[in-house]
Chains A and B, each alone.
Chain A
Amino acid sequence: MNTPSSPSAPAPEHRLPPGFALHASGADGSQEYFLNMGPQHPSTHGVLKLVVRLDGETVVEVVPHLGFIHRAIEKMGESETYVQYLHLTDRMDYLSSHINNLGVCMAIEKAMGIGVPERGEYIRVMVSELQRIQSHLLWWGAFGMDLGAVTAFLYGFKEREKITALFEDLCGARLTMNYFRPGGSNADVPENFIPRVLEIVEEMKFTLDEFNALLSANPITISRTQGVGALSRERAISYGCSGPVARASGVNFDVRRHAPYSIYDRFEFDVPLGQNGDCYDRYRVRMEEMRQSVRILEQAAASFPEGPHRAKEKPVYKLPAGSYFSSVETARGMFGTYIVSDGGLKPYRIKSRSPNLSNLAPIAEMAAGGKIADLVAILSTLDIIVPDIDR
Chain B
Amino acid sequence: MIDKSAEFSLPPGLVPPQSGLLQPVDWIVGWARANSLWPLVFGTSCCAIEMMATGASDNDWARFGLEVARASPRQADLIILAGTITEKMGSRLVTLHEQMPGPKYVIAMGACTISGGPFYYDNYSVVKGADRLIPVDVYIPGCPPRPEALLYGVMQLQKLIRAGGWRNSIVHRPVNVSPITDPMAETLKEWEVIEAKKQEEMKEAKERFKLENPDYKGVVIKRIVAPKYDEVAPTPRPERGLAQAEIFANLSERFPSLRVHALPEKSAEKVADNVAEVATETSVEKPIETVTEKITAMGREYVLDVAVEPADYLPLIRHLRDDTDLQLDYLIELTAIDWKDRYDVVVHLLSTDKGHKVFVRCALPHVEAPEIESLSSLFAGANWHEREAYDFFGIRFTGHPDLRRLFLEDDFPGHPLRKDFEYPERVVKRPY
Contact = CB atoms under 8 A, between A and B. Distances in A.
Is there direct touching of A and B in the complex, by C-beta distance under 8 Å? yes
Interface of A: 1-2, 18-19, 39-42, 46-47, 66-72, 74-76, 78-79, 87-88, 90-91, 94-95, 109-110, 113-117, 138, 153-154, 157-158, 161, 164, 174-176, 183-184, 235, 237-241, 251-253, 258-261, 308, 310-313, 320, 322-323, 325, 327, 334, 336, 338, 340, 348-349, 351, 353, 357-358, 361-362, 386-387, 390
A75 B122 contact: yes
A361 B71 contact: no
Contact of A75 (B88, B262, B348, B416): B416
Contacts of B125: 70-72
Contact of B230 (A78, A91, A311): A311
B417 A175 contact: no
A68 B408 CA distance: 8
Interface in B15-52: 40-46, 48-50, 52
A336 B144 contact: no
Contacts, number: 234
A67 B408 CA distance: 6
Interface stretch (B2-10, B92-100, B245-253): B92-100
A262 B181 CA distance: 44
Given A68-B89, A115-B232, A175-B144, A75 B44 contact: no
22 contacts: A1-B95, A40-B40, A69-B84, A75-B417, A90-B46, A115-B233, A115-B235, A154-B56, A158-B57, A161-B56, A176-B143, A183-B229, A237-B330, A259-B239, A308-B227, A312-B230, A312-B232, A325-B348, A336-B332, A349-B338, A351-B335, A361-B384
B305 to A, nearest CB: 7
Given A75-B417, A79-B121, A325-B303, A40 B352 contact: no
B329 A237 contact: yes
A71 B119 contact: yes
B118 A258 contact: no
Contacts of A348: 337
Nearest to A261: B237
- 9 closest residue pairs by CB, A with B: A67-B407, A115-B232, A157-B56, A240-B381, A70-B407, A115-B234, A311-B232, A94-B46, A238-B380
A320 B264 contact: yes
Contact of B348 (A94, A183, A336): A336
A270 B348 CA distance: 27
A106 to B, nearest CB: 9
A172 to B, nearest CB: 11
B335 A46 contact: no
A239 B380 contact: yes
A68 B123 contact: no
Contact of A72 (B58, B124, B232, B338): B124
A88 B112 CA distance: 13
A68 B92 contact: yes
Contacts of A362: 380
A210 to B, nearest CB: 14
B58 A70 contact: no
B86 A387 contact: no
B404 A114 contact: no
